[in-house]
Amino acid sequence: MESLPPIKKAIGCKWVYKIKYHSNGCIERFKPRPVIFGNNHFEGIGYHETFSPVVKMVTLRTLLAVTTTKKWELHQMNFYYAFLHNDLKEECI
């Protein structure tokens, strides 16, 4: 666990579970994800600076078409852990 500077405060989070069902209706599993508390945000300070890495299928198909016509190499990467374990270079108030 990292220690924070004396003037900084950590943002809290909680776990939210989505229930996944089998085709017959019985519960398959609970899918967890952490959600950061939004009640600590202040409007105008990093309020509209959210980013969700989602790609449209049209964009993905176009990228794959250009890649194959130009005979470029294509590599798949997992950025989930890159966002979790990356060092922050900015400070929030």
Q: Domain range for residue 66?
A: 13-38+52-84
How does DSSP classify residue 45? Answer: B
Q: Is residue 68 part of a domain?
A: yes
Q: Is residue 20 part of a domain?
A: yes
pLDDT at 7: 77
pLDDT at 33: 85
Domain count, the chain: 1
* CA-CA-CA-CA dihedral for 43, 48, 49, 54, to nearest 10: 150
pLDDT at 13: 81
Q: How far apart are CA 36 and CA 83, in angstroms?
A: 15
| pLDDT tens-digit readout, 40-93 | 666 666 555 555 667 889 998 999 999 999 999 988 776 665 556 556 665 655
Q: Is residue 93 part of a domain?
A: no
| pLDDT tens-digit readout, 7-51 | 777 777 888 889 999 999 999 998 888 887 766 666 666 555 555
Q: Is residue 45 part of a domain?
A: no
Q: Is residue 67 part of a domain?
A: yes
